[in-house]
Amino acid sequence: MSTLILRRAAALVAALVAAPLSIVIAQGTTADYARSEQWMDLKPGLVLNVAEPPVWIAKTNRFYYRRSVAGGNDFVLVDATSGAKQPAFDHARIAAALVAAKGPAATALTLPFNSIRYVDGDSAIDFVADSVSWRCSLHEYTCANRGRVMPRPQYSVPFGPVGFPERPAPVDTPQVSPDGTREAFIRNHNIAVRVRGQKDVTILSTDGVEGDAYSPRSIVWSPDSKKIAAFRVRAGHERLIHWVESSPDDQVQPKYFSRAYAKPGDVLPLEQPVIFDLDGKRQLVPDNALFPDPYALSDLAWRHDGRAISFEYNQRGHQVYRIIEVDAGTGKARAVLSEEPKTFFTYSSKKFRYDLNDGRDVIWMSERDGWNHLYMIDGATGAVKHQITKGQWAVRAVNYVDTVAKQIYFSAGGMYAGKDPYFVHYYRIGFDGTGLVALTEADANHVVYGAPDGEYYVDQYSRVDLPPVTELRRRSDHSLIATLERGTDAPLRALGWKPPEVFVAKGRDGTTDIWGIIIRPTNFDSRKKYPVIENIYAGPHGAFVPKSFGSQSQMQAIAELGFIVVQVDGMGTNFRSKAFHDVAWQNLQDAGFPDRILWHKAIAAKYPWYDISRVGIYGTSAGGQSAMGALLFHPEFYKVAYSAAGCHDNRMDKIWWNEQWMGKLGPQYAAASNVDNAWRLRGKLLLGVGELDPNVDPSSTYQVVNALIKAGKSFDFIVFPGAAHTDGGPYGRRKRNDFFVHNLLGVEPPDRNVSAVVKAGGARSR
């Protein structure tokens, strides 16, 4: 009898092994939540021997860097000539000296500053700790309080056409001529000039009026001090958006405020360049036929010989980008070169110009052959003299132009077949397109920091599965001088962490590789089925799958609850071919979903534990738009979404980002709108928005909520009082995680109200 029982037990075990996916293992348990909380609040110090960017010491071949070590951080000093390194100072003595001087608490490995400056012939260091400037002697090891440090002025970032920090200048701030004899300024909206030190004023223009006035910040003198150029600026429409702060900390009643915020289709300021010939007493107003509809013009710049001014013209809709030159003698404008792609010119990340020979030659970045490359342009005719870089790979940035050696230092991705095309490598090439030299070697993502004298550089590289390695190299032959640091992730792995898996599958065209990562829970069990959650951000301005080392702790926190978490870059994102990027043109609702879905299916075909019948998605900002869009446009695949701070209608969001990819207002905006397509909703949706979001107008979310209500749709919605552009912070992330647990795992999340009572020791008696 006992033998029969044993045989039956053995048969049962064999059956279970043969069909492992039938085993039911709990997910979303209390233990899972405990691990998830650990990853959400992951403490630093789990990756050691990682160097921060080097700081070169002036007029020397030495530099220092700060690195992570067990228990904190320390500072290392390096002699680049030999590669020898040593402590930058005696850390224990500095800590003791700082405490003795009544400074903030400090130990050798927890010094309260991140950077230093060597002074007094390297016999002392300066640093700032707790907003106080300190100087500590490296001989006596004493520290002196040098007073509080005034915080740097915080400039607001306007949501206008340029999108750079605004630094207002006083109206009458004079601009001094190069020879120092005269100064130009604004008087009653017009250009005025006077001899320095004198009161007599000459008014050069009379056409400046309120609303169409000369800009004081645009005034530039010619090199010979005989001419002035400036913009006369006709005011555009100042759109205001409005916020209500429902729960201010300093009062009971809510607050209301407004801010200028330009949106697609708005009338923008119109800049008209004007040249003034002081000796000839002439005013030249160039015909704007070559720059009729500007989104923005760049600053005016004089040619060194004073023959002309130049500026760059970015046409509304971003399909025309020109370098304009205006003859200073005649006022005649010509296009030095003109980029006129059928889709968009990516001025935000793929524009580079370097004038040679006072503009007679131009090094120019262009995607005209289908890939982002460098060209030598004839500045007189606009013709291509020759292509400097070429191939089915993309230049990422120009780092330095050496006009003496006639070489260009640049970074690029995709040069190595079969390797990750997003890895950034660094190169050198001659102006004539010959002599291409690779400055980085390892199959990884690189960041290079060059020495001021150009003789040395520090190369730090890593991958998602390789902690950072920091090397010192010689520029002349890119030889290795020393490996300064080799990071270790042993403390991280001790928590059960494993690096993400890099996964590649073919995109919608059947040939293009689509790259992403897969993150498993630390208690991963291949015998069970896991729902999938995708972290999405598909903004065409970049690519977003991590390429460098990191814990990916927030995605890991979600995985711990019983999910597989993934991130992938589909077509329409940046840094591949022009055709890859162009998918986004007037088509932001695409968000690479056809590629993403195929990528998911390829993983499921390889791994039986990857359950694509239960797929969730989450994102913030443009990712919030895409996350909701997944349920509107692809509900057959995506079932649950968390959408935070979404740009749900591109007509509601800031002009500079949306017109870059969607062009001028047209029917494409409605086609991409989550508001106009809210009636399509299927699946489970949680929306979140910060009530004070200064980035994406919060009304964008309120309008999609309104549309969902009108369509009779069921959904969840949470407003975060006092919050700006956010995914909801810790509270919002926990709500998101609970939403996925409930709707994808079918498990009821913890009752956080009960948990709060327990933590507080029970409710107070009344």
* DSSP line for 290-338: TSSSEEEEPPPEE-TTSSEEEEEEEETTSS-EEEEEEETTT--EEEEEE
Does residue 533 carry a pLDDT above 50?
Answer: yes
CB 375 within 8 A of CB 390: no
- In sequence order, the β-bridge partners of residue 323 are 312, 337
Q: C-alpha 337: how far from its chain's center? A: 29
Give pLDDT, residue 19. 40
Nearest Cα residue to 280 out of 325, 326, 218, 328:
328
Strands 227-234 and 220-221: antiparallel
Average pLDDT over residues 156-163: 32
- Collapsed DSSP state (helix, strand, coil) of residue 95: helix
Instruction: Give the Cα separation of 49 and 630 in Å (integer).
Output: 41
Task: Phi first, then psi: give them for residue 703, nearest 5 degrees.
Answer: -70, -35
Taking the C-alpha atoms of residue 4 and residue 26, their distance in angstroms, rounded to an integer, is 32
Burial 327-360 (b: 16+ CB within 10 A, else e): ebeebebeebbebebebbbbbbebebbebbeebe
Positive or negative, the Cα torsion across 653, 654, 658, 663?
positive
Helix (H/G/I), strand (E/B), else coil: 354:
strand
Picking from 201, 211, 83, 212, the residue whose alpha carbon sits closest to that of residue 470 is 83
Q: How far apart are the first and last CA of the chain?
A: 67
Residue 451: what residue type?
A
pLDDT interval class at 453 (50, 70, 90): confident
394-402: strand order across its sheet = 394-402, 407-413, 425-430, 437-438
Q: What is the pLDDT of residue 271?
A: 97
Q: Is the pLDDT of residue 729 over 80?
A: yes
Q: Hey, what are 435's tokens?
A: 């002599």
Question: To the nearest whole percent, how much of the chain has pLDDT over 70?
Answer: 92
Examine the pLDDT at 386 and tell me if it is beyond 80.
yes
Distances (CA, A) of 748 to 33, 528, 701, 728: 12, 19, 27, 21
232: how many CB neighbours lie within 10 A of its CB?
22
Q: At residue 569, what is the residue type? A: D
Rounded mean pLDDT, 558-573: 98
Task: Identify whether the C-beta of residue 346 lies closer than 8 Å to the C-beta of residue 539.
Answer: no
Q: Which of 248-262, 354-368, 746-760 has the lowest mean pLDDT?
A: 746-760
Residues in the chain: 766
Mean pLDDT computed over every residue of the chain: 92
Q: Look at residue 678 in the predicted model and tell me its pLDDT.
A: 98
Instruction: Give dist(CA 40, CA 272) in Å, integer.
Output: 52
Is the four-CA dihedral 743, 747, 749, 751 of positive or negative sign?
positive
Instruction: Look at 626 and 27; give whichever has higher pLDDT.
Output: 626
Alpha carbons 403 and 665: distance in angstroms, whole number? 43
**160 vs 281, which has greater pLDDT?**
281
Degrees (nearest 5) of the Cα angle 166, 168, 173?
145
Contact 616, 597 (CB under 8 A): no
pLDDT of residue 669: 98
DSSP 416: S
- Asked whether 588 and 657 are in contact (CB, 8 A), the reply is no
DSSP conformation letters of 453-476: TSSEEEEEEEETTEEEEEEEEETT
Chain segment 597-611, per-residue pLDDT in tens: 999 999 999 999 999
Helix (H) or strand (E) holding 247: none
Read off the pLDDT of each residue in 353-360 and give the average, rounded to a whole number: 98
Q: Which two tokens stand for residue 634?
A: 């692809």
Calculate mean pLDDT across residues 499-504: 98
Give residue for tokens 């405990």: 34
Output the pLDDT for position 756: 52
Which of the four pLDDT bands, split at 50, 70 and 90, describes residue 758? very low
Note the pLDDT of residue 150.
Answer: 74
Query: Where is average pLDDT lowest: 25-34, 585-594, 598-607, 721-730?
Result: 25-34
Residue-level pLDDT at 166: 38
> Which residue type sits at 573?
T
* Percentage, residues of the chain above pLDDT 90: 90
Kindly state the tokens that stand for 177.
């001529």
pTM, to two decimals: 0.91
Per-residue pLDDT reduced to its tens digit, 93-115: 999 999 999 999 999 999 999 99
Q: State the average pLDDT over residues 209-222.
A: 97
In angstroms, rounded to a whole number, what is the distance separating the alpha carbons of residues 525 and 518?
15
- For residue 548, report the phi and psi dihedrals to the nearest 5 degrees: -100, 165
CB 309 within 8 A of CB 229: yes
| Confidence band, pLDDT 50/70/90 cuts, at residue 25 | low
C-alpha to C-alpha distance for 523 and 517, rounded to whole angstroms:
18
| CA atoms 702, 705, 709, 715: torsion sign | negative
Q: Which two tokens stand for residue 705?
A: 């909520």
Residue ranges of domains in the chain, CATH in brackets: 502-753 (3.40.50.1820)
Question: Of 693, 699, 706, 700, nearest to 732 (Cα)?
Answer: 693
Secondary structure (3-state) at 612 = strand
pLDDT for the residue numbered 172: 57
Q: How confident is the model at residue 6 (pLDDT cuts 50, 70, 90)?
A: very low
Strands 202-203 and 190-195: antiparallel
Q: Is the pLDDT of residue 757 over 50?
A: no
